[in-house]
């Protein structure tokens, strides 16, 4: 019998509406994962593999995922890793809110894919809901059953998200609808698989036949976005043992953009103020959500050129949802180079990748190591642009 660990973190799936006929007014993260699981298996046949799987549940957090914190991420990563390392565990399901599910999925994908271990073939399946648990049309029970069905499937691998009968890869998935029952899309690449419910799971009026997972593509699994060589990588536990992760901020390029936000981020006086308030104040990275093919407004360009010589890693991404980007052939702004490693990632996911890389890759840490004394005290953004050092370029 296959063993699946279900880790609860809250979200609407665990939500409670004071009036069950009004699913819009509710409080997320009210019910425990064990009771959600017990409540959702009732419609299954006695012979259904989902009903017969060996399940262990654990409440890792109880939050609305809009409030996702580093503490919860660290706890979740540690537990997901711990479960995967158990030889009797076939896969992990994470019950999560929809708001930041794509970010948590990608965080797990990027962190776990930095390791070279056999556990990487086991699936990690996030799932969620758009309606609270106690309304008659709650979608959480079906999604939770579907997630376990996917985790049990022999073809499942890597970090995926299951919602409304679709399976999405962590790298591609985005919440694109604010209110729809199926709020996720993998864009033009489409879902990885579909989950067909059993006939007696009546919620979505499934056709007759066995419940099954139909794979539309071969899952890429934990193929790393990119990876430093083993000798230049810290162990994964660094991520949950570190009190803070490197500070990486995002800036957006848009019509009528001004450099005020960027100026504040790079301003040493503001940094000094931040030193007093934040546990980890030094700015280590900037992700630019650019227009089109990662282009940025001319008002941002001069400051971006100053950021890299100040020891701030700048990664350019696009705010466009589709189409990928083509950065070969010297598309760059001074030192604000995009790394090809991050191509195709949304700005939010590129930010996560950069935080993780800065923390566990020695290569990237070389860029900002304190031995480079000139980096520890950032110049004022109005100062002349410092000359770049050759070793500030590239990534790993
Ligand atoms: N705010 C909720 C959350 O992300 C929304 C949801 O779960 O659908 O936790």
- Is residue 179 domain-shared with residue 238, that is, in the same domain? no
Q: Residue 380 falls within a domain, yes or no?
A: no
Q: How many structural domains is the chain composed of?
A: 2
Q: Are 380 and 309 in contact (CB under 8 A)?
A: no
Is 133 a pocket residue for ligand 1 (Cβ < 6 Å)? no
Whether residue 185 is found in the same domain as residue 248: no
- The pLDDT, as a whole number, for residue 308 is 82
Q: What number does the ligand 1 atom closest to the CA of 15 have?
A: 7
In a domain? residue 221: no
User: In testing the pocket of ligand 1, which one of 8, 9, 10, 11 has its CB within 8 Å of the most ligand atoms?
Assistant: 11
pLDDT in tens, 289-334: 999 988 999 999 999 999 988 889 899 899 999 876 766 544 444 4
Q: Given a cut of 60, is residue 174 above it in pLDDT?
A: yes
Atom of ligand 1 nearest to the CA of 12: 7
Q: Whole-angstrom Cα distance, residue 320 to residue 212?
A: 34
165 in the same domain as 118: yes
The answer to the question of residue 79 being in a domain is yes
Task: Name the residue among 280, 240, 272 with its Cα closest to residue 360.
Answer: 240
Helix (H, G, I), strand (E, B) or coil at 45: coil
Buried b (16+ CB within 10 A) or exposed e, 42-68: ebbeeebbbbebebebeebbbbbbeeb
261 CA to middle of ligand 1, Å?
Answer: 29
Tens digits of residue pLDDT in 153-170: 999 999 999 999 999 999
Same domain? For 337 and 301 the reply is: yes
CB of 128 closer than 6 A to ligand 1?
Answer: yes
| CA–centroid distance, residue 305 to ligand 1 (Å) | 38
Give the whole-number percent of the chain exceeding pLDDT 90: 61
Using one digit for the tens of pLDDT, what is the confidence trace for 73-86?
A: 999 999 999 999 99
φ and ψ of 27, to 5 deg:
-115, 125
d(CA 311, CA 309): 5
Same structural domain, 255 and 209: no
Q: Is the pLDDT of residue 373 over 50?
A: no
Q: Judge whether 389 lies within some domain.
A: no
The pair of three-digit structure tokens given for residue 29, joined into one six-digit string:
């993260």
Cα distances (Å, whole numbers) of residue 378 to 120, 256, 279, 309, 349: 40, 27, 18, 9, 26
Is residue 173 pLDDT above 90, yes or no?
A: yes
DSSP lists the bridge partners of residue 285 as 248, 313
Q: Which two tokens stand for residue 344?
A: 């195709």
Region 47-62 average pLDDT: 96
Look at residue 376 and give its three-state secondary structure.
Answer: helix
| 316 contacts 289 by C-beta, under 8 angstroms | no
**89 by DSSP, 3-state: which?**
strand
Would you say residue 68 has pLDDT above 60? yes
- Kindly state whether residues 353 and 309 are assigned to the same domain: yes
Calpha distance 343→394 (Å, rounded): 14
Please report whether residue 266 resides in a domain. yes
- Give me the CATH number covering residue 33: 3.40.50.1170
pTM attached to this predicted model: 0.87
User: Which residues constitute the domain of residue 255?
Assistant: 234-372
Please tell me the residue having the least CA distance from ligand 1 atom 7.
97
Indicate the SS3 state at residue 273. helix
CATH of the domain at 311: 3.40.50.40
Q: What does the DSSP assignment read for 253-272?
A: --TT--SHHHHHHH-HHHHH
Phi, psi of 233 (to 5 degrees): -120, 140
- Is the pLDDT confidence value at 379 over 60? no
DSSP letters, 111-138, are HHTTS-SGGGGSEEEEE--SS-TTSTT-
- Orientation of helix 33-40 relative to helix 140-152, angle to 10°: 90
Q: Which atom of ligand 1 lies at the shortest distance from residue 64's CA?
A: 9
Decide if 36 is inside a domain.
yes
**How far is the C-alpha of 195 from the C-alpha of 58, rounded, in Å?**
24
**pLDDT band for position 100 (cuts 50, 70, 90):** very high
């Amino acid at each position: 019998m296959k063993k699946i660990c279900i880790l609860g973190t809250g979200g609407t799936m665990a939500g409670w509406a004071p009036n069950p006929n009004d699913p819009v007014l509710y409080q997320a993260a009210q019910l425990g994962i064990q009771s959600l699981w017990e409540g959702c298996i009732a419609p299954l046949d006695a012979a259904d593999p989902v009903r017969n799987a060996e399940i262990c549940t654990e409440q890792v957090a109880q939050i609305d995922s809009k409030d996702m914190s580093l503490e919860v991420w660290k706890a979740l990563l540690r537990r997901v890793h711990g479960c995967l390392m158990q030889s009797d565990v076939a896969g992990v399901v994470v019950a999560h809110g929809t708001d930041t599910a794509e970010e948590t999925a990608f965080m797990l994908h990027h962190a776990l894919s930095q390791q070279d271990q056999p556990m990487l073939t086991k699936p990690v399946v996030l799932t969620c809901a758009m309606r609270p648990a106690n309304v008659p049309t709650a979608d959480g029970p079906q999604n939770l059953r579907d997630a376990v069905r996917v985790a049990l499937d022999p073809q499942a691998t890597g970090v995926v998200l299951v919602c409304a009968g679709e399976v999405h890869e962590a790298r591609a998935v985005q919440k694109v609808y604010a209110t729809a029952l199926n709020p996720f899309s993998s864009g033009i690449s489409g879902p990885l698989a579909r989950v067909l419910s059993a006939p007696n799971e009546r919620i979505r009026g499934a056709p007759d036949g066995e419940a099954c997972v139909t794979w539309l593509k071969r899952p890429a699994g934990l193929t790393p976005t990119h990876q430093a060589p083993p000798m230049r990588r810290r162990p994964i536990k660094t991520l949950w043992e570190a009190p803070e992760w490197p500070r990486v901020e995002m800036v957006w390029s848009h019509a009528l953009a001004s450099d005020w936000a960027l100026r504040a981020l790079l301003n040493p006086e503001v940094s000094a103020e931040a030193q007093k308030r934040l546990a980890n104040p030094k700015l280590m990275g900037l992700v630019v959500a650019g227009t089109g093919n990662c282009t940025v407004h001319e008002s941002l360009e001069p400051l971006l050129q100053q950021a890299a010589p100040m020891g701030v890693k700048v990664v350019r991404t696009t705010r466009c949802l589709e189409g990928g980007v083509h950065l070969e052939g010297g598309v760059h702004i001074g030192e604000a180079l995009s790394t090809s490693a991050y191509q195709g990632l949304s700005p939010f996911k590129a930010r996560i990748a950069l935080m993780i890389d800065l923390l566990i890759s020695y290569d990237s840490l070389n860029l900002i190591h304190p031995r480079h004394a000139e980096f520890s005290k950032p110049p004022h953004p109005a100062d002349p642009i410092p000359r770049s050092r050759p070793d500030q370029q590239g990534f790993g």
